[in-house]
Structures are given as C-alpha cells and as structure tokens.
C-alpha cells in the first residue's frame, strides 16, 4: 500500500522473497551483544551521564559521539576506497534518508524532549532492559505506543 | 580483568560505537539504526495501519540486532556488573541532590527507575511519556541517535544534521526546563 508520505527509507517490500535461515541472524545478534556491552560499559545508557551532558558538565558524552562519528566516517571512506562489496555483489552504502526538512527538525525536537527526560535513546532502552532495570520496560512500552501513534497521525504531520 | 566491570573512557567507547557502522555494512549491507525496530515490532504485532503494512520479515535482521543488545545489556549490566555508582561531576551531583534525586544510586537513579518508581502513578507516567516522545519523535525524524547522530553524520547526510540539532534542542529544553518541574511532581 502506498503511504501518503514518502517513506523514510525504501523498505525491502520489493526484495525477492527468499527463505531466511536462522543462521543468518547470528551475526546481527552478536553485533547487538557487542553494542549492548559497549552501551553499558561506556555509560551512554546511564540517565546520569545524559543529564550531565545536557548540563555541559562533562566531556564524556561529547567525546564518545565525536569519536564515534569520526571512526564511522573513516571506516566508510576506507570501505569505499577499497571497493568492498556485500555478499550479493552490491557496493556497501549508507542508504540516504527521505529528503524532507520539517520531519527532521520537529521529529528531532520531540525525540530530544524524551531523551532529556528519561535519559535513554532506543539502543540504551534495550540494553537497560537486559540489565534488569524495571523502568526500561515502561520506556519501551511508551516508545512502542509513540511509534504506533505516529503511524496513525503521519498523514497530518508536516514532513 | 578489571576492564570488564569498570567504565570505559570515551576514547575507547566512542570508536567501538563508531565501528558498529562498518560492522553492519560488512555483515549484510545494513544501515546502523535502532529505532526502526520499534516500527518492525508494531508491524509484527499486527497493526493494520498503512504505515505498518510492509514486509517486516525482510527487515527482521534489525530485531535480531536489538535482541542482541538486550543480551549485551545482561552480560555487561548483570554478569559483569560495575560495583561502583556512576562517577559524576560534583556540580551535577549537587544539582541532582537539590532536586531530590540521589546522585549515587548506581547506574540509574532509583527515584526514577526502581520498581518502586514504576509502581507509583506519577513515576510510571513520567517513564511512559518519555518513552512516547522518543518513539513518536524517532519515527517522525526517521531515526534516532544511532541512525542520525552516528551513521548519518558520518555519511555526511544533511537530514541527519538537522535531526541531531533537533535532538539537542529538545534535550536541552527537557533537562533545563521540564525536568526540574517534573521531578518536583515526582517527589
């Protein structure tokens, strides 16, 4: 079904339906474990660190975001330079997002309000859940609800 | 093995987070992003809205990835739990104390995240509302901090810069204007 708003990315609706074997998920699962461990050990999942960041009272979070972006940018440059292809022969690339403007500014501000209040973005929500923090359960529930309501209101929002 | 349980400095953690971007590209040419999983979960739960009518199974690598994050959170937060509370700037700690939030209750403030907080009505509403804004905003902005502030910025995509500025404007407003008031209600 066509969406009234151009979708954020081209989802794989048109991709050929091939059966996915369980084994194909293992690398993604392990990549997630890696990210989850880093999210806890780096304390980016700690409400305290986020609050401290928004008060500009620690370099920690800024150092993390800055060095993460530089590392990712350098890796992307290197992959392109080496001409690395995916297993099905496609060039590796970061899919460009929808060219809208309003959605990024307004959506960004709404996201930021939530981030500043409960101090967790989606990755950390999952990591906190695994660490057994009760509050993460309600944040995840709220986030699912917010995602659903966005789906309802999408045609009426500026994008 | 102290490094397993002790916090990692930014210059170790940041590059490791950045490496997630090429890692997912090398595994299967996937764009690193976490909040899409919320949309896939809604779709998998059977929502009939047009926004959730797509082949979510083709995107289910993302669900395996976030399941991994939950497991990683268990490994680092439970098996390799840090015995010490988060070491905050004393100024931040003092400000928290003034607002009635203990600055030394471990990884998260107990006033906001403990079972006791979850079972109180204002505490539960606070967490639900925060989560709601995160889910709603992330989908409107087509991504969260991982998809925009890490991946998109590294790929020099302008929309991601707009979104990142938005994240910080919203976060600053919440931390400086809404939070002090909200914490007053929670006390």
Within this chain, do residues A54 and A74 fall inside the same structural domain, yes or no? yes
Within this chain, do residues A143 and A155 fall inside the same structural domain, yes or no? yes
- Domain around A143: 97-159
> How does DSSP classify residue B85?
P
Within this chain, do residues A85 and A114 fall inside the same structural domain, yes or no? no
Residue A105 belongs to some domain of the structure? yes
pLDDT at A14 over 50: no
At A27, the pLDDT band (50, 70, 90 cuts) reads very high
Burial class of residue A33, CB neighbours in 10 A (0-12, 13-18, 19+):
buried
The closest CB to that of B146, out of A25, A34, A123, belongs to A123
Within this chain, do residues A29 and A76 fall inside the same structural domain, yes or no? yes
Q: 0.90 exceeded by the pTM?
A: yes
User: Could A111 and B137 be called an inter-chain contact, meaning their C-beta atoms sit closer than 8 Å?
Assistant: yes
Q: Is the dihedral of CA B167, B159, A100, B66 positive or negative?
A: negative
ipTM score of the complex? 0.96
- Contact of A141 with chain B, judged by CB distance below 8 Å, is answered with yes
Residue A109 belongs to some domain of the structure? yes
Domain count within chain A: 2
pLDDT at A125 over 60: yes
Give the distance, in angstroms, between the CA of residue A126 and the centroid of all CA atoms in the same chain: 11
Residues above pLDDT 90, as percent of chain A: 75
Within this chain, do residues A78 and A138 fall inside the same structural domain, yes or no? no
Within this chain, do residues A74 and A123 fall inside the same structural domain, yes or no? no
The closest CB to that of A54, out of B75, B115, B175, belongs to B175
User: Could B170 and A70 be called an inter-chain contact, meaning their C-beta atoms sit closer than 8 Å?
Assistant: no
Instruction: Give the Cα separation of B66 and A33 in Å (integer).
Output: 8
Q: Is A91 helix (H, G, I), strand (E, B) or coil?
A: strand
Within this chain, do residues A82 and A107 fall inside the same structural domain, yes or no? no
- For the stretch B118-161, pLDDT in tens is 999 999 999 999 999 999 999 999 999 999 999 999 999 999 99
Burial class of residue A93, CB neighbours in 10 A (0-12, 13-18, 19+):
middle
- Contact of A102 with chain B, judged by CB distance below 8 Å, is answered with no
Q: Report DSSP letters for B112-170, one per residue.
A: HHSHHHHTSHHHHHHHHHHHHHHHHHHHHTT--IIIIIIIIHHTT-HHHHHHHHHHHHH
| Residue ranges of chain B whose pLDDT lies below 70 | none
Q: Which residues pair with A91 in a beta bridge?
A: A85
């Amino acid at each position: 079904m066509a969406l009234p708003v151009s979708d954020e990315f081209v989802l794989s609706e048109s991709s050929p339906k091939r059966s996915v074997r369980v084994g194909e998920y293992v690398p993604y699962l392990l990549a997630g474990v890696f990210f989850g461990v880093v999210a806890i050990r780096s304390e980016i999942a700690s409400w305290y660190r986020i609050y401290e960041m928004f008060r500009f009272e620690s370099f920690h979070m800024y150092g993390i975001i800055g060095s993460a972006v530089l590392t990712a940018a350098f890796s992307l440059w290197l992959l392109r330079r080496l001409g690395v292809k995916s297993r099905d022969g496609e060039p590796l690339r970061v899919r460009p997002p929808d060219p809208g403007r309003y959605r990024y500014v307004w959506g960004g501000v709404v996201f930021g309000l939530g981030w500043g209040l409960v101090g967790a973005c989606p990755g950390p929500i999952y990591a906190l859940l695994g660490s057994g923090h009760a509050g993460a359960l309600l944040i995840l529930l709220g986030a699912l609800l917010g995602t659903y309501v966005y789906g309802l209101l999408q045609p009426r929002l500026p994008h | 093995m102290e490094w397993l349980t002790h916090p990692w400095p930014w210059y170790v953690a940041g590059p490791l987070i950045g490496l997630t971007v090429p890692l997912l590209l090398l595994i299967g040419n996937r764009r690193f992003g976490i909040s899409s999983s919320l949309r896939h979960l809604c779709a998998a739960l059977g929502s009939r809205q047009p926004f959730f009518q797509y082949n979510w199974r083709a995107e289910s690598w993302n669900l395996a990835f976030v399941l991994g994050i939950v497991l990683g959170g268990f490994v680092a937060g439970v098996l390799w739990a840090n015995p010490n509370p988060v070491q905050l700037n004393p100024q931040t700690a003092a400000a928290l104390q003034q607002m009635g939030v203990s600055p030394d209750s471990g990884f998260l403030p107990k006033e906001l995240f403990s079972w006791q907080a979850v079972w109180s009505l204002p505490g539960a509403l606070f967490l639900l509302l925060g989560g709601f804004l995160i889910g709603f905003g992330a989908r409107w902005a087509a991504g969260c901090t991982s998809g925009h502030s890490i991946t998109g910025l590294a790929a020099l995509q302008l929309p991601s810069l707009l979104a990142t500025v938005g994240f910080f404007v919203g976060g600053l407003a919440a931390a400086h204007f809404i939070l002090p008031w909200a914490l007053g209600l929670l006390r």
